[in-house]
């Protein structure tokens, strides 16, 4: 029984199955969505239904890495904890040695680097999480990055990870507009999550960051209000389509 042999090895046809299985674990995690606006970046996460006896405040899906950088994940919570801790130490270490806060890209690269290292080391398995990292650098341009268990990372205008992320991503592709205002970006985030979160607004948590690089949470009343607004708009669309009825394009009205 040796504990230093590699667990993640190539298959004959060039797959790293452990990494692909890790992606499957991510797909089972609760959904997280990130949307970049003109001067704001928004994170929306699906909150797992809190069990009756559980204290909801101890389940945090959106974590601060430093004052100006924030992370949401999908997948194994415990793996996320380890990675977040490493990232937090790196943020402070960077400040100590370089006397500058990390850039969002730097810390993303660091996290992705850690994730990659665990696909190429003895005796360890890959992290079962994908992350969405948001923040503002000194250039005051909003940033959104995504990392995966394989160690790939890239910047996105809007991204989704976790359960039904494909559906959400398609929705985002259809509805994303450049240079969105804060309200539009938040609305799009909630709208896209409502597509897949069955239980509705009370299971959605939204946080956003302005140019001042301070993370702000939307309280649940605000999320409710925006969801209701979205519902009303959907109904209005459906009415319009029904009235237009028998349109030659044969587009079906929006289903509830």
Give 94 or 191: the residue with its C-beta nearer to another protein: 94
CB atoms within 10 A of CB 235: 12
For position 217 contacting another protein by CB under 8 A, the verdict is: no
For position 137 contacting another protein by CB under 8 A, the verdict is: no
Q: Which one of the spans 20-28, 85-93, 187-195, 242-250 is the region binding another protein (CB under 8 A)?
A: 85-93
For position 82 contacting another protein by CB under 8 A, the verdict is: no
For position 251 contacting another protein by CB under 8 A, the verdict is: no
| CB 81 to another protein: min, Å | 10
Residues 32, 91, 206, 213: which binds another protein (CB under 8 A)?
Answer: 91
Determine contact, residues 147/112, Cβ cutoff 8 Å.
yes
Give the C-alpha separation, 225 to 230, whole Å. Answer: 9
Residues 38, 48, 88, 182: which binds another protein (CB under 8 A)?
Answer: 88
Q: Which one of the spans 16-24, 86-94, 133-141, 171-179 is the region binding another protein (CB under 8 A)?
A: 86-94
Binding to another protein in span 29-68, by CB under 8 A: 64-67
φ/ψ of 100, rounded to 5, equals -135, 150
CB atoms within 10 A of CB 198: 7
Give 85 or 181: the residue with its C-beta nearer to another protein: 85
3-state secondary structure at position 240: helix
Number of residues located near another protein, criterion CB under 8 A: 12
CB neighbour class for 65 (10 Å; exposed up to 12, middle 13-18, buried from 19): buried
For position 166 contacting another protein by CB under 8 A, the verdict is: no
3-state secondary structure at position 30: coil
Residues 6, 89, 152, 214: which binds another protein (CB under 8 A)?
Answer: 89
Largest CA distance in the chain: 71
SS (H, E, C) 146-214: EECCCCCEEECCEEEECCCHHHHHHHHHHHCCCCCCHHHHHHHHHHHHHHHCCCCHHHEEEEEECCCCC
Give the C-alpha separation, 225 to 170, whole Å. Answer: 25
Residues 51, 53, 96, 251: which binds another protein (CB under 8 A)?
Answer: 96
Residues 92, 175, 199, 217: which binds another protein (CB under 8 A)?
Answer: 92
Q: Which one of the spans 22-30, 88-96, 109-117, 234-242 is the region binding another protein (CB under 8 A)?
A: 88-96
Binding site for another protein (CB under 8 A): 64-67, 85, 88-89, 91-93, 95-96
């Amino acid at each position: 029984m040796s504990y230093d042999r590699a667990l993640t090895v190539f298959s004959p046809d060039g797959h790293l199955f452990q990494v692909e299985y890790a992606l499957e674990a991510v797909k089972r995690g609760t959904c997280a969505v990130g949307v970049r606006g003109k001067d704001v970046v928004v994170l929306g996460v699906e909150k797992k239904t809190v069990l009756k006896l559980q204290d909801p405040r101890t389940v945090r899906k959106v974590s601060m890495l430093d004052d100006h950088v924030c992370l949401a994940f999908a997948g194994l919570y415990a793996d996320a904890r380890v990675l977040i801790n490493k990232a937090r130490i790196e943020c402070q270490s960077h400040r100590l040695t370089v006397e500058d806060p990390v850039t969002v890209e730097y810390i993303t690269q660091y996290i992705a680097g850690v994730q990659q290292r665990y696909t190429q080391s003895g005796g360890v398995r890959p992290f079962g999480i994908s992350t969405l990292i948001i923040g503002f650098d000194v250039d005051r341009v909003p940033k959104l990055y995504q990392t995966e268990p394989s160690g790939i990372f890239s910047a996105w205008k809007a991204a989704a990870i976790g359960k039904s992320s494909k559906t959400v991503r398609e929705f985002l592709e259809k509805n994303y507009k450049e240079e969105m205002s804060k309200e539009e970006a938040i609305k799009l985030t909630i709208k896209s999550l409502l597509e897949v979160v069955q239980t509705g607004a009370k299971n959605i948590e939204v946080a956003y960051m302005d140019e001042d690089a301070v993370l702000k949470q939307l309280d649940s009343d605000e999320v409710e209000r925006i969801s209701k607004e979205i519902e009303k708009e959907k109904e209005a669309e459906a009415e319009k389509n029904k009235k237009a009825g028998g349109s030659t394009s044969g587009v079906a009205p929006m289903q509830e």
